[in-house]
Amino acid sequence: MTTPQETLEPGQPDITPLWHGAGIIVIDKPRGPSSHQVAAWVGKLLGCQVGHAGTLDPQVSGILLVMLGNAVRLAPLLLKHDKEYVCLMRLHKDVERQRIDEVAKEFTGRIYQRPPRRSAVKRLLRIRTIQQLDILGVEGKLVLMKVRCDAGTYIRSLCHHMGLALGVGAHMQELRRTRSGVFDERTMHTLHDLQDACCAAAVGNRAALDAMIVSVDAAVPDLPSVVVRDTAADALCHGAALAGVGVLRCDEFRKDQIVAVLTEKTEFVGLGKALAASTTWKPGKTGLFVAMTTVFLAPGTYPRGWKKAVKPEKPAKS
């Protein structure tokens, strides 16, 4: 995570923050800078704490999710998002198109991978799923393909292994991430777009900037939801577990599953871990239902609907 103070140049005055609270902005990362540098620039422009999910190598472009404020708490979920890439692979010798298509089918499904030597993670053998591998075009030794895969799949390794299977060798020449979870190229913005929006916001026109930043609940639309009474919201913001009597309705989920907790007005309170399956709950049933793990709604947003326990007064000493 990078703070605004860490991104400012020596002797540069502090900037007025343009964003408060949690949010996500989908950046079109250019080739050249690292993911950390891009996130730091976003933090410098907005004047807020930031983090990024799904690191891209410096020479890789495309979707980079930059989390603002306490949205960094979503990182464990965002890192699990399926990804989609467009890759340009260079073969070391010419190969017939039919054979390339055959090998692409062989690499669709579960594959074994070991992180590259330069990777920051342990080089342990892992299984990843290639959900879709489409050959978009072949021109000489260049192969353009689209890959939809699990998080943590190394496309560089995929190209290398496909080259071995073809018997000619291959390497990744260019790569662009086109989707991460629910976010695709239609939702991303360049750093130049963000800078223009920040300049407009600094003089009072926030429309463009506000349109770029999405709410944290937009990143977890596939999670089952639990709708709570507004009177229970503030207690959850203060760390209380959700009791069954505070629940109005919920989707179907199993015990220990992560759920999204919403107010009656569908405002996003945060994430919680189900303490019981939804099938065991009935309106008015007592007992704890959800343990909050991550809270995004600020305390005091909703009126307090709970009371502090009053300690009995000690008898006066005679």
Residues forming the active site: 57
CA end-to-end distance (rounded Å), the chain: 58
Compute how many other C-beta atoms are within 10 angstroms of the C-beta atom of residue 3: 14
Q: For residue 80, what are the contacts with CB-CB under 8 A and spacing of at least 6?
A: 151
| Whole-Å CA distances, 271 to 99, 135, 294, 295 | 47, 39, 5, 6
Phi/psi of residue 279, nearest 5 degrees: -70, -15
